Each structure stands twice: as structure tokens, then as C-alpha cells.
Chains A and B, each alone.
Chain A
């Protein structure tokens, strides 16, 4: 494949890089793994780009979420990911977040991140799309299941997180 990506692809990728970064942040705790996953997602987006056909009823973000999640969840990368462990740097970042943006204690936020990290990769996809504020219709479209199924599974994931936070 040519190493000269088109200008429209680069422009789209430039706009949506933070989205890809957030997917990586949720699936990889280790900074190197996160960078590997980011590069792999970008590569796969580029490969799939020639087949992307803009449609009036489909958003570019939906297409991006699909590919990013498919790559993150299938985890067919060569490098074996280390067992989930929160690096000191990430922990510090997580802890620093709530001081500006919410009324919650840093420890509460860190506990929630840890609870999310213990979820399965599929459950993390529900969490990600929920955090990204995607409507159930789009979530169903990205995951390939019915809206009703999304609603019930989302409820289950939230219950799991509550249970984990209670038993921490």
C-alpha cells in the first residue's frame, strides 16, 4: 500500500484523533500499549478509508468508532499486552481530573476507573460509547445489536460498576 495518505483522510484523522486517543485510553493502561493501539487503529482506518462511502444517514464518527473498537477488542496485535496495571503517571492523571470538573473526591474517580478497567473488553465498549454520549441508536449501529439489547446491557454494566465500587 502507498504511504501517501490523501489530504481528506489526514484532515478527517486530524479532527478525530482525540476520539481515537480516548478509545486507547480506555483499553490500555500502559503508555506503550496505548501508543501501539493508537498506531494500529490509525493504520486500519487508513486501509479502510478507500472503502468508506459517506452516506447521508451515517456519521463519519460512527465509522471511526466501529473500526477503533473492532481493533481494540479483537486485539490481534503481535505484542502481548501486559496484565492490566495502572501506571503511576496515569493514576496521577486520573486522580487530578475531578478537582477541576466535579464535586467528587479524586479517590472516587480513581476507584471508578479501576472498576471500568476490570470490566470485559465488550463491556468497556458500552462504557466508552456511554461516556462519549452516543445515543442508543448509534450504539446499536456500532455494536451490531438491537437498541433494546443495548439498553439492557448498559443497565447491567452500570450495575456491575456499582457492585464493584461497593465491594472495593
Chain B
């Protein structure tokens, strides 16, 4: 038996359990549900996280502006900086996800859009994580300097700075490695599968 034979009765209705056509009311119910799509879930999460950062920004700025104690002000300033970086990250992420989520267009273009988008998302997340490392070290330095009762002498500042710089350098490689592994675990399977499909479609037969 060949495909041509199957084609003759292909358009017959499916299994009895499968409704041939849903009514308008049933379609409305289908449309009211949330998507199971991973990209839709990532978009929902990114929106929530961005809203949290938007809420944190005025709070931390207020802390930096109004706090009577110097170290609280410094903390507020650094938190505001981190919130700004995160807001920038989530805006970029949402833009990328929006671009990737559009299923219109031919299959090849769609697979290409998904793979390039996913790669960009991974690259961006990786860079942000590594950029957060010196920021965190700076935050720790400020904390170490400001929470002590003794005055910060230039020697003490240099020592804390040197210790944090060394610490930052030491944890850089494990952080980079762990982040890469985490991202591969999170998106690697999807990316490999999509790229294999794209290769399969692009494979120009030599027959």
C-alpha cells in the first residue's frame, strides 16, 4: 500500500472520540485558556519579574535619596542600579520572545527565527549573569565597609577591594561554567532539536 492509496480516504473523519467540529461556544472556551507553549510561559514570567523590578526601582531610589545613614544610601543606589539592569534585560527578553512567538510564516523561516532567538536569549542571559558578578562583589564591599564600627581607612578600603577582586576572579570561572550547563539543561534540548529540523529541511538532495 502506498501514500496515494491512503490519500483517497485521508479526509474521512477521525476517531469517534474526536469531535468533528467544535461549536462556537466550545471554541470560545478553548480560546479562553492559557497557552501551554514554553515561550508564552517565559513571557508571562518575564512580565511578572519586570513588574517586580519596576516596583523595586522607586523604593531603592527613595532609599538612596532619603536614608539618613550613608551605607543605607549606598545600598539603595546599588539596588537601583541592579533593578535598572534587570529592567533592561527583561525588556530585551520580552522583545525577543515576542519576535519568536509569531508562528506565521513558512516552516523554514519559523525554525530559523526560533533557533536564532533562542541562541540570543541564552547569550543574553549568560552575559547578564556574568555582569551581575562584579555588581554583587561591589555590593558586598560596600556592606563590609559600611557595617563596621571603625572608620574606613585607605588601607582597609584597599584590602577589602583586593579581597573582593580576587574573590570575583576565583568564582568567575565556576559561575560561567555552571551558568553554561544550566542554560544547556534548560534550552539545549529544544535548540538541538530545532537545529536538527532546520538542517533536515535545508539538506539539499543530490539525487
Contact = CB atoms under 8 A, between A and B. Distances in A.
Interface of A: 3-5, 10, 13-14, 17-18, 21-22, 25, 31, 34, 36, 39-40, 42-44, 46-48, 51-52, 63, 66-67, 69-71, 73-79, 89-90, 93, 97-98, 100-102, 104, 108-109, 111-112, 120-123, 125, 127, 130-133, 141-145, 149, 152-153, 155-156, 158, 161-162, 165
Contacts of B114: 74, 76
Interface residues of B, number: 55
A109 to B, nearest CB: 6
B10 A131 contact: yes
Contacts of B38: 76-78
Q: Which 7 A-B pairs have the closest CB atoms?
A: A144-B108, A144-B106, A101-B9, A152-B205, A108-B1, A78-B36, A77-B36
Given A77-B38, A78-B37, A144-B109, A97 B12 contact: yes
A52 to B, nearest CB: 7
Interface of B: 1-3, 5-18, 20-22, 24, 27-28, 30-33, 35-39, 41, 101-111, 114, 190, 193-194, 197, 200-202, 204-205, 207
A121 B196 CA distance: 11
B33 A39 contact: yes
A18 B9 contact: no
Contacts of A70: 103-105, 107, 110
Nearest to A5: B31
A122 B204 CA distance: 14
Contacts of B109: 144
B108 to A, nearest CB: 3
Nearest to B118: A76
Contacts of A152: 205, 207
11 contacts: A18-B20, A25-B14, A44-B103, A73-B197, A74-B114, A104-B5, A112-B3, A131-B10, A142-B106, A144-B110, A144-B201
